A and B are shown apart, each in its own frame.
Chain A
Amino acid sequence: MTAELAVSPKVTGFLPVQYAICLKGIVWREGLRFLHQRERFVAALVRPLVWLFIFAAGFRQVLGVSIIPPYETYILYEVYITPGLMLLIQLFNGMQSSLSMVYDREMGNMRTLLVSPMPRWFLLSSKLIAGMAVSLPQVYTFLAIAWFWEIEAPPLGYIAVLPALVLSGLMLGALGMLMSSVSKQLENFAGAMNFVIFPMFFASSALYPLWRVREGSPLLYYVCQLNPFTHAVELVRFALYCQINWISLAVVGGCTALFMVGAILAYDPSRGFLARRGEPGGGT
């Protein structure tokens, strides 16, 4: 009588409802973490409000804005920069979520996520969605405060802008995730954020229309055109007025896919930077 080694009884794959449970769990944890960090919420709001109430008020007379789509009349400078400030919230939020991934990796929490039997791409996508979801209430709170400052969009615009915010939030989160995968330490990532956040924000259409930039520097104009943040701002600006900027939609969609694939590859144990560096490990 010979003995033959068998595999363990059939382990069935995951059901769609189990994927949904996993996604919900990751979003829930990100939400809880956000609630625990009240200072983060305050900081996320104060930053754009300072721009809106102080910077915009001061520069209103200096930086005139002509009639450009999607606006049909002359607008106040505060109205012009509102979409850019909404994206500033999402930009900081995306980087903050990614900073927490670096922190989790250093603290070991990241391993809890990565040893889940769910597919790695699904886990990272869920993490990305969770980070984006946390940014939405921040943006809408900012819009509510701005509304009291008489910066109003068409009522339907507040709904129409939601898909644009989802997409831009995913793009910025994916960029942060990609950055976090190549950053070895928390301090390195915090430094790298400064090389991304401020250049992205200032070299975009967030604070001034691109025709004004072109007048000052044609080279900078092209840099701004190549900046995906510019297209995210324009996507949100048009959506807030119930319009679609197709070029911006294509650029933001494409960049989201590109950054996401990059992040998934980077966190893949067989190809990623983690394996090459010997992370996440600890001992040997």
Chain B
Amino acid sequence: MTTAEPPAVAIEGVSHCYGKRQALNDVTFSITPSAFAVLLGLNGAGKSTLFSLIMRLYAIQRGHIRIFGRDVGHASSEALRMVGVVFQQRTLDLDLSVIQNLTYHAALHGIGKQDACARAADVLARIAMSERANDKVRNLSGGQMRRVEIARALLHRPRLLVLDEPTVGLDIKSRADILGYVRRLVAKDGVSVLWATHLIDEVSDDDDVIVLHQGRVLVHGSVSRIRNAADAQDIRTAFTRLTQGADAASEAP
């Protein structure tokens, strides 16, 4: 008998309601370690709700979420230590410098200042932001802020990185830079990534794709599997067919 490594993240039968409005409905999927997984869905599909549940900002009403085998509901501290997160909304303190934001985050993970500074220097060098370390975040561009947020998410050396539409509002070059950097993290460092987006051009042929629509997982698998499921030539057409089909099914009497 061998012991297989648990999934980087396993979502099992997760449902979530805001009052009477159902945001997630029996969502189930898992991501293998060191994979780049794309959570693809239109605005309002439930991506941010799912991220909030993964990060325990909301209590899990139904189902389970496990991060490398640790239940977020019951062992949240252990689970959260293995996750780095970049939210859709900016969460940096604009009045602090880049390095101050990073050391503050490190303190929230119990990492001392000396160690934090060394780690910060390392991650800032990797995202080519070393020269801006002492600048106030307020003075950075949108793309640079996103890079700092990614650096911050990596500071405590998580095994799973979850990013909620991290390229929204950025120009083409900044988007490509950030996407490329995160993909290199997967390839070189073996970090597992869950990347939520509604931008289909961010999906690569090698990615693991979860199509989320109206709070449900429509299909999960490789890009070729998604294409086959929709009998389409490309992922864009497949996504459109799948979501329109789901809309039509839900509107049917």
Complex contact A283–B110 (CB within 8 A): no
Q: Does B104 contact A (CB under 8 A)?
A: yes
Stretch at the interface among B75-83, B179-187, B225-233, B234-242: B75-83
Given contacts A7-B70, A11-B81, A21-B110, contact A29 B58 (CB under 8 A): no
Contact of B82 among A11, A25, A111, A278 (CB under 8 A): A11
Complex contact A29–B4 (CB within 8 A): no
By a CB distance below 8 angstroms, the chain A residues around B28 are none
Complex contact A282–B88 (CB within 8 A): yes
Q: Does B49 contact A (CB under 8 A)?
A: yes
Q: Does B159 contact A (CB under 8 A)?
A: yes
Q: Does B172 contact A (CB under 8 A)?
A: no
Q: Does B108 contact A (CB under 8 A)?
A: yes
Interface size class of A (residues with CB under 8 A): 35 or more
* Cα of A21 to Cα of B107 in the assembled complex, Å: 6
Q: Does A146 contact B (CB under 8 A)?
A: no
By a CB distance below 8 angstroms, the chain B residues around A275 are 58-59
Complex contact B111–A21 (CB within 8 A): yes
Q: Does A118 contact B (CB under 8 A)?
A: yes
By a CB distance below 8 angstroms, the chain B residues around A123 are 108
CB interface residues, A 179-232, toward B, < 8 Å:
none
Q: Does B36 contact A (CB under 8 A)?
A: no
Q: Does A1 contact B (CB under 8 A)?
A: yes
Shortest Cβ distance from B159 into chain A, in angstroms? Answer: 7
Q: Which of B57, B59, B80, B164 has the most CB of A within 10 A?
A: B57
Q: Which of B48, B87, B91, B107 has the most CB of A within 10 A?
A: B107
Contact of B107 among A2, A11, A13, A26 (CB under 8 A): A26
By a CB distance below 8 angstroms, the chain A residues around B19 are 276
By a CB distance below 8 angstroms, the chain A residues around B90 are 107-108
By a CB distance below 8 angstroms, the chain B residues around A284 are 18, 23, 44-49
Given contacts A108-B90, A275-B58, A280-B57, contact A32 B3 (CB under 8 A): no
Complex contact A281–B4 (CB within 8 A): no
CB interface residues, A 236-284, toward B, < 8 Å:
268-271, 274-276, 278, 280-284
Complex contact A115–B85 (CB within 8 A): yes
Q: Does B89 contact A (CB under 8 A)?
A: yes
Complex contact B108–A118 (CB within 8 A): yes
Complex contact A36–B95 (CB within 8 A): yes
* Cα of A15 to Cα of B110 in the assembled complex, Å: 8
Given contacts A21-B112, A33-B95, A111-B91, contact A11 B3 (CB under 8 A): no
By a CB distance below 8 angstroms, the chain A residues around B52 are 280-281
Smallest Cβ-Cβ distance to B23: which chain A residue: A284
By a CB distance below 8 angstroms, the chain A residues around B77 are 13-14, 117-119
| Interface residues of B, dominant DSSP | loop
* Cα of A270 to Cα of B53 in the assembled complex, Å: 11
By a CB distance below 8 angstroms, the chain B residues around A28 are 104, 107
By a CB distance below 8 angstroms, the chain B residues around A108 are 87, 89-91
* Cα of A176 to Cα of B106 in the assembled complex, Å: 27
Smallest Cβ-Cβ distance to B156: which chain A residue: A117
Complex contact B69–A6 (CB within 8 A): yes
* Cα of A270 to Cα of B62 in the assembled complex, Å: 12
Complex contact A113–B81 (CB within 8 A): no
Q: Does A61 contact B (CB under 8 A)?
A: no
* Cα of A276 to Cα of B21 in the assembled complex, Å: 12
Interface flags, B156-172, vs A, CB<8A=1, else 0: 00010000110000000
Q: Does B105 contact A (CB under 8 A)?
A: yes
Complex contact A4–B108 (CB within 8 A): no
* Cα of A24 to Cα of B90 in the assembled complex, Å: 24
Complex contact B4–A116 (CB within 8 A): no
* Cα of A6 to Cα of B109 in the assembled complex, Å: 25
Complex contact A4–B1 (CB within 8 A): yes
Smallest Cβ-Cβ distance to A11: which chain B residue: B78
Smallest Cβ-Cβ distance to B89: which chain A residue: A108
Q: Does A79 contact B (CB under 8 A)?
A: no
By a CB distance below 8 angstroms, the chain B residues around A1 are 1-2
Q: Does B93 contact A (CB under 8 A)?
A: yes
By a CB distance below 8 angstroms, the chain A residues around B3 are 3-6
* Cα of A29 to Cα of B107 in the assembled complex, Å: 10
Q: Does A41 contact B (CB under 8 A)?
A: no
Given contacts A32-B100, A112-B105, A284-B23, contact A270 B59 (CB under 8 A): yes
Q: List 12 A-B contacts (CB under 8 A).
A: A5-B6, A5-B7, A11-B70, A22-B110, A24-B107, A29-B96, A109-B93, A115-B55, A118-B110, A282-B48, A284-B44, A284-B48
> B interface vs A, CB < 8 Å?
1-7, 18-19, 23, 43-49, 52, 55-59, 68-70, 76-82, 85, 87-93, 95-96, 100, 103-113, 159, 164-165
> A interface vs B, CB < 8 Å?
1-8, 11, 13-15, 17-19, 21-22, 24-26, 28-29, 32-33, 36, 107-109, 111-119, 123, 268-271, 274-276, 278, 280-284
